[in-house]
Chains A and B, each alone.
Chain A
Amino acid sequence: MPEAPFLRVPEHARTYRYDAVDREFLAQRIAEFRGQVRRRLAGELTEDEFKPLRLMNGLYLQLHAYMLRVAIPYGVLNSAQLRQLAYIARRWDRGWGHFTTRQNIQFNWTRLVDVPEMLEALAAVDMHAIQTSGNCIRNTTTDEFAGASPDEVADPRVYAEILRQWSSLHPEFTWLPRKFKIAVRGAEDDRIASRTHDVAVQLKRDPAGAVGFTIHVGGGMGRTPILGVPLFDFVPEAEFLRVMEAILRVYNALGQRENIYRARIKILVRDLGRDGFLALVQDELARMPVEPYRLAPEVVQAIRAHFAPPPFAAAEAVALPADPAFAAWVRHNTRPHRQPGYASAVISLKPVGGIPGDATAEQMEALAELADRHGFGELRVSHTQNLVLPHVRRDELHALWQGLRAAGLATANFGQGTDIIACPGLDYCALANARSIPISQQISERVDALDRAHALGELQIKISGCINACGHHHVGHIGILGVDKHGAEAYQITLGGAPGNDAAIGELIGPSFGYDAVAGAVETILRTHIAHRQPGERFLDTYRRIGQAPFKEALYAVA
């Protein structure tokens, strides 16, 4: 295994730093899984018994091989960790990794015998695969611009880390009816698709400046897409974990277990109604002792210290070079920063015609290098399957961009039509009805051509290979769902979905399209938008203004 200085952690990268206790926990956890693998191989555990255990350690059985999903807690990582991921990709996989919509990374070609060693390589950089799958509380996701964005009320990483710790091997909530996903954001602007989560937490401040939480519950995608409903308006900080406990208690006791499609908390909340569910949560809260579950300010403060601002330089405002390709990248792929003279830079993992979210070991290493040089060695993974350097001096953006270009990572399309979210689909996933990746590649090329001619602006296309909706198609402006039609791959198209503050579930436009027709259908939809749009209108705006009819007509009019 590679040793320091290869793994030297950059001093100012703000990841949660493990201490001896956290490392001991992780080492024990790996030993436990090593034992479970051994017992499985020795026949002491049946596959039925082993399955939930391997899933809790991030190990899936896919179509061709095991897949190991590694947790990147709330999408925050440092350059040493990224280098180690590159090393793992090269040593035990096929030289690349796939970043997911849960801000994790997965390795698609894993051998069972290698897993304990891979986990040890991860532990060397304080990483793990715990609870990245299975019916437990999963990796909490948060805003990729946390700690950088000017509109942030409070830092969501602090509370995401608290949730990570609290939910690790939780004795009561490790055998839930179904997986459980929590998202935390610190800004009003919802950049993390909050309402598609089982629980969504938004940080607020009361008039005195104290932090509290607005909580939504019962969102989810899948066969029955539902947007989360407001449960609490302002939970004081000290009550954070008590409220989480109470919600999970109600769910663990009453969530459906017989039917996998009815097992998420969204169904329980829908069936009980928001008020009915709230009454049960309040009943738990009334009975729970206060003190053992109190989130003490000292704990919050100690964890907040891990996320202190890095030592920003007093940078001057600069004029950026006029190179049009660079200017386009700055326009699309940088975001304002709270620190004058800085910006957040998005590294698109969506090259036109490429595989969304994939990065090669060489690219990861190049990025680690660029992060060290231009961004305190800190990176983020976004739920849109891109990477972010959160803190870059504006006067270094051009140098960064040149470095990205050399690594094939300078695609200027963040939030644009070619920034497609796609799940792995039938190329990897055992549950898939249809391929997602090649569809995404075809669409990306068509959209790119249209965009060059017509400047489409912000556009979110999302593709799932089956109704489990890992590609979030329900909340795509254009959503594409792979279905099985008499044994052939077919694709349903929904329009008008959105993940953010204007969250909506897309509406089915009509009968499905075959594998060869779906990219053309997307082009038809966009051409219809171009024909009808008013100045400055995005596809979503046009669709919401003029409705389904013109799109239907363009798609299905008998020739």
Chain B
Amino acid sequence: MCVLATAGCKAPEKPRYTVDTALAEQGRAVIERAGCAACHEIPGVAWPRGRWGPSLAGFGDIGLIAGAVPNTAENLSAFLRNAPAVKPGSTMPPIPITPDEARAAAAYLYGIDDDV
């Protein structure tokens, strides 16, 4: 199983994003304060590990946010604050965080795949 999984992968690429680690650290605090993990499993956040929303492990590698919107830092920050406005019909509700907090949270999410 392990072999199959690794054989299916390409050689490790360079991370697609350069992550500002100080900002990412702030982002983790934002994510913990906002309770994002009530719905998501988020690497680096020990508790909770909510299962109502998708796991965010390896999120930085995906091309489309929630399968719909190009995965750019700007789109992601907007999505985190008001998902239904960015992706009509999204089941993730708006989360009460400021634009700066959303940018920090986005930086953290992009940093995740660098850790594993």
Q: Are A and B subunits of one complex?
A: no
